[in-house]
Structure 1
């Protein structure tokens, strides 16, 4: 008797064009990407190529290996010299090299065409869908560009061509020996966390002014520094004039290594392929970017864009979760039928697909607001909408991953299937660049300081007015809450900050789906997220939802 013949198991989901398979992403690129209005397909041909790459068996194997063979810290070489290097598996290098080669980092800055940020967001999303760890340095490099553009002309001239390069060179060298660069960030300290104004790292001016601007020496400890093998970092430190932003390269202009002591690598729940570290500065050279005392204002341009990438990264994870769960239920039989043909399972997959589609269209609409041709109203819209989406979409990620994992049963809970890795990954995106309360309180700060952002936000959201009664009611209620909290005392407003962020996020998502998604998707979203027709768990859909139409898009 053969006891180990394998049957009724879904084959690996490989050989797929992940771009073509993601209907909402394809539609968003066609709607907002660079090809709009010029009679071309824009970035679509490149995105199809990326989709086939990340959907290949070899890329998915590299994604797995990069998370199994995790980065290792080498503080000293064999002769005892301090080197502070992190070694990555070759699989990681292959993954990030592919992403950089296709502009997942800075292609939007290289092009600057209308829709360029949409094209870049779609590329970033596709790579992050399969291997999220490498997306951290890719995202930070993208987000660092507008900050470095404010630096002294010599620094900007030396570094911008390297940031825009589509080459990938993992060596820790400087000058003409290396034509490309990745940039990281070091803000967080152990005593302050998100409260960066509590930072104690000091920056003392050396009195030297050169092509890179004013030079300082930094002393202090950073509790989190992601991607420590990046070529340079944007760092917050206390200068004589207050908290300031500094450009800190790993290799100095003379070719010697800067003082950058990697104390240890963090042993993280997930995000294993990406090294996160504690670093010590001890007379470390840095160059002032912006003005002394204006460090937060300077670096917030980077933070805003990495927050958007947290939304994109969560949407990428949701897409992976839906794709893997939908694949499994279409190939697995139980109780005499395919799982997908059983109403309870069909409802769960459809509900997960709704969440994924809402996250994707929200992230892509936001990306369009970051293009160079953005109007003042679009800039105001993105100021609020980025925080709103960062709060809600990233908060929804962990629960979404857990439900999708359960669709695979015991397989989902085992290593080797990608959803176990995704389950550990999604909580990080809710923490990175401001956890829930930080972001919700940021929404309140916008309410108090930038009321034009709320006007711009509601102008965008109201474009769907009159198309759905449930949406119109929720929109009116959200506007009423804004008015109410604008008049409330600080404690009451803070207590309801999460409620406000959630309401704003849901009306934004509903508005975009009502305008741009098929009626089956928009109707189901409104009935389950706005009317309360569903329960608090995925799969509790009301009678009448068009499951077949939603599943066809999944």
Structure 2
């Protein structure tokens, strides 16, 4: 409309342009350095190919998938039971792209190469920035593999389909599909994280299979091809593989009661179900179900770290892009001193979380070959899951504030990230569960304490504040009478010390700043409280996608 029009009121100006497609790998210096440092650099070509997809089509499809929530189709129009979930085509495209590039299977298809789990973590990290909801079935499919290996016959039949790069959403028996996804059903109404309170029962049949009667309060990804579930036998809790479709093509007796109306994670379906003599096969031994499925849980907890770090990275990308273009009071936001402090503080936290996540991924990768790394992974996964997932919601809220009111509307993507932010601190064990798990490991597995301090002592002398923190942590566990009461403080400080150790040994540009502010006390309780001599411009440039 021209200025001469009687309806012309103003020109639209001083708005940040759309970020548009970008390379989520090539523009992420912290991720690229971390992958090389932790042993996954050999996969750079594959990661680079996915980076263009993640910052392009995957990002666009992610918006659409979240605007169109899945719907439960319990019955067809004639009244026949369906128990199916209807998804928008954008969801299926996101899943197709994720599986095509191996977000669910890259580590297992390359497990003969050191660093495969690091490279796979990078794939998941880029995927989650574009669309986090599909991370649920992709994560569980990835993490189910070690558990399924407890059953040789099951593994022989299922793993080729689980490790396939084909996305096949058809409702068919496993043998007729080109690729399969796996979900999980652990918790029940009366118990939550206390799975010993479960009431679901499994009865052994003459052919060696089991019939399961009961329910699951959170049944993740009800559109999957099979689920690992917990149920009681006479010997105690067992872990079972429950397929959606039986070998003869009939549907298993799994009744979806409703889909969860969730705060976020809108593209993905979570459900409540009942089992009406559903058929399943045991994985491992009767009575050893918790120990069997915990191998899956350990990997999903690492993915919680990956997912939260990814959400933080994407929120930072959005905040920096806006601040580079938006002007206020005569200059760009990024040129204002206080905004520099906020953005640099966010960049520092994002880098520390990503660096620790990749370090834990290396420990998980090396665990089968190195007892010390296995012990470190056992402890550091719980520490990192607690701390990184706790940092995510306030981080994203601060990034929203950088956009002002624009960060509170859906078009900016920040509301979706903010709704998603609390999930990973709740999923696979809340903060208290993680802290208790840390105490349990330290008490029952003394090698985990040795591995933790070995990691910190590798950076001893690099910074005085880290040295002092190592001293404090070495005596933090002495008073056993108050240990659980103090465990959140202890685990928080363990996490910060680990982050500082990783950054200092890596020679990261913000390593000394991190140690001084997070361990040395030169920092407030909110973001934007860095000291005046911090390298603001250098840290923002390191984190930005484009100027």
Whether these two folds match at TM > 0.5 is yes
1:228-278 deviations in whole A, cap 9, x for unaligned?
000000000111111110010001122211111010000000001010000
Q: Does 1:528 pair with 2:514?
A: no
2:502 corresponds in structure 1 to: 512
1:241 corresponds in structure 2 to: 235
In structure 2, the residue corresponding to 1:9 is in which secondary structure?
coil
Between the aligned partners of 2:518 and 2:400, the Cα distance in structure 1 is: 22
Between the aligned partners of 2:149 and 2:414, the Cα distance in structure 1 is: 39
1:95-129 deviations in whole A, cap 9, x for unaligned?
11101000000110111010000110000100001
Between the aligned partners of 2:10 and 2:228, the Cα distance in structure 1 is: 55
Task: Tell me whether 172-181 or 340-349 shows the greater mean CA deviation.
Answer: 172-181
- CA deviation after TM superposition for structure 1 residue 175, in Å: 4.0
Q: Does 1:289 pair with 2:289?
A: no
Question: Contact 2:469–2:497 at 8 Å: present in 1 too?
Answer: yes
Between the aligned partners of 1:376 and 1:176, the Cα distance in structure 2 is: 37
- CA deviation after TM superposition for structure 1 residue 517, in Å: 4.1
1:165 corresponds in structure 2 to: 164
Q: 1:232 aligns with which of 226, 234, 239?
A: 226
In structure 1, the residue corresponding to 2:280 is in which secondary structure?
strand
Unaligned runs of 5+ in 1: 36-41, 210-214
1:187 corresponds in structure 2 to: 186
Over aligned residues, Cα RMSD in angstroms? 1.1
1:14-57 deviations in whole A, cap 9, x for unaligned?
2211111111110011122344xxxxxx211121121111211x
Task: Tell me whether 18-27 or 335-344 shows the greater mean CA deviation.
Answer: 18-27
2:421 corresponds in structure 1 to: 426
Between the aligned partners of 1:116 and 1:175, the Cα distance in structure 2 is: 27
Question: Contact 1:64–1:416 at 8 Å: present in 2 too?
Answer: no
- CA deviation after TM superposition for structure 1 residue 4, in Å: 4.7
Between the aligned partners of 2:176 and 2:279, the Cα distance in structure 1 is: 21
1:64 corresponds in structure 2 to: 63
1:109-150 deviations in whole A, cap 9, x for unaligned?
111010000110000100001110000100000100001111
Q: 2:526 aligns with which of 503, 527, 537?
A: 537
Question: Contact 1:226–1:274 at 8 Å: present in 2 too?
Answer: no
Where does structure 1 differ by over 4 angstroms across 4 or more consecutive aligned residues?
none
1:45 corresponds in structure 2 to: 45
Between the aligned partners of 2:167 and 2:495, the Cα distance in structure 1 is: 37
- CA deviation after TM superposition for structure 1 residue 61, in Å: 2.4
In structure 2, the residue corresponding to 1:494 is in which secondary structure?
coil
In structure 1, the residue corresponding to 2:78 is in which secondary structure?
coil
Between the aligned partners of 2:141 and 2:78, the Cα distance in structure 1 is: 33
In structure 1, the residue corresponding to 2:216 is in which secondary structure?
strand
- The 5 Å alignment of 1:301-380 reads 301-371=295-365, 374-380=369-375
- CA deviation after TM superposition for structure 1 residue 371, in Å: 1.7
- CA deviation after TM superposition for structure 1 residue 177, in Å: 2.3
Q: 2:379 aligns with which of 372, 384, 390?
A: 384
In structure 2, the residue corresponding to 1:208 is in which secondary structure?
coil
Q: Does 1:471 pair with 2:466?
A: yes
In structure 1, the residue corresponding to 2:205 is in which secondary structure?
strand
- CA deviation after TM superposition for structure 1 residue 402, in Å: 0.5
Q: 1:394 aligns with which of 345, 365, 389?
A: 389
In structure 2, the residue corresponding to 1:74 is in which secondary structure?
strand
Question: Contact 2:58–2:97 at 8 Å: present in 1 too?
Answer: no
- CA deviation after TM superposition for structure 1 residue 89, in Å: 0.5
Q: Does 1:8 pair with 2:14?
A: yes
1:119 corresponds in structure 2 to: 119
Between the aligned partners of 2:163 and 2:508, the Cα distance in structure 1 is: 38
Between the aligned partners of 1:288 and 1:300, the Cα distance in structure 2 is: 15
In structure 2, the residue corresponding to 1:11 is in which secondary structure?
coil
Q: Does 1:202 pair with 2:201?
A: yes
Question: Contact 2:167–2:180 at 8 Å: present in 1 too?
Answer: yes
Question: Contact 2:158–2:174 at 8 Å: present in 1 too?
Answer: no
TM-score by length of 1: 0.95
Q: 2:483 aligns with which of 472, 493, 509?
A: 493
- CA deviation after TM superposition for structure 1 residue 60, in Å: 2.2
Question: Contact 1:175–1:255 at 8 Å: present in 2 too?
Answer: no
Q: Does 1:458 pair with 2:453?
A: yes
Between the aligned partners of 1:325 and 1:262, the Cα distance in structure 2 is: 40
Question: Contact 1:33–1:43 at 8 Å: present in 2 too?
Answer: no
Between the aligned partners of 1:54 and 1:133, the Cα distance in structure 2 is: 14
Question: Contact 2:239–2:284 at 8 Å: present in 1 too?
Answer: yes
In structure 1, the residue corresponding to 2:207 is in which secondary structure?
strand
- CA deviation after TM superposition for structure 1 residue 494, in Å: 1.1
Question: Contact 2:341–2:536 at 8 Å: present in 1 too?
Answer: yes
Question: Contact 2:325–2:332 at 8 Å: present in 1 too?
Answer: yes
